[in-house]
Structure 1
């Protein structure tokens, strides 16, 4: 007990540094509905997932996944049912960094799409994995 009392600062530093090391691992994936680029490729190939890019048209033109459909996040709630008529088909939501795509997953789930996933890290992670990008 004397050790804890005399070294409380060192113990506090150890606990805080441990939490800082664990924080990225706990938040990076974004939860159960977030996929790595490799998992996303498998979803597209195996389950014929529909890729929805929620970036702005300018960002979409700069580079997107092959066969992705551009539906900006602000228009998603109104247009998703037109783009993805079958609610049982998996959806892969993509944006530049993965933040907007997480919100897009929540919107899709609210509309009844239970198989909606976000690309963790967005197009940045896709490019870093060396996967193909289509422009235009």
Structure 2
């Protein structure tokens, strides 16, 4: 996607963005430099289940809420949604904002759970 199109249509939930498989994310979470986990699902979805340590900022609030997170754009960020569609827009927006190490969880929470990986609940 060209730079202009990316600026205009960052929110469109299709196309390719950098991804990280569930098992690879689990390995990174056990490592020295844990990525920041940005869960862009709704608050209700996040409360039901999420990866431990994930911060919830729904994709509909991402544009205004991103600055409140105080993230270093050079540090790794993994965007998470239910099925790896909403997180596409999150990855694109972060890239437009200068983030250099941003990926989405491949397959989203559905793939994470299908792999039998742990979740926590805020309910």
Structure 2: how far apart are the matches of 1:82 and 1:45?
26
Q: What residue number does 1:44 align with?
A: 29
Q: Gaps spanning 5+ residues in structure 1: where?
A: 1-29
- Given candidates 95, 99, 106, the residue that maps to 1:109 is 95
Equivalent residues, number: 107
Give the aligned CA root-mean-square deviation in angstroms: 1.4
Deviation above 6 Å: which 4+ runs of structure 1? Answer: none
TM-score normalized by the length of structure 2: 0.81
Q: Gaps spanning 5+ residues in structure 2: where?
A: 1-14
Structure with larger Rg? 1
Distance 1:84 1:49, change over 3 A: farther
Q: What residue number does 1:24 align with?
A: none
Q: What residue number does 1:35 align with?
A: 20
2:39 equivalent to 1:53: yes
Structure 1: how far apart are the matches of 2:73 and 2:109?
24
Q: What residue number does 1:123 align with?
A: 109
Structure 1: how far apart are the matches of 2:52 and 2:42?
16
Structure 2: how far apart are the matches of 1:68 and 1:53?
6
Matched residue SS, 2:87: helix
Structure 1: how far apart are the matches of 2:120 and 2:112?
12
Bigger helix share? 1
Moved more, 97-106 or 35-44: 35-44
Task: State the structure with bigger RCO (CA 8 A, min sep 6), 1 or 2.
Answer: 2
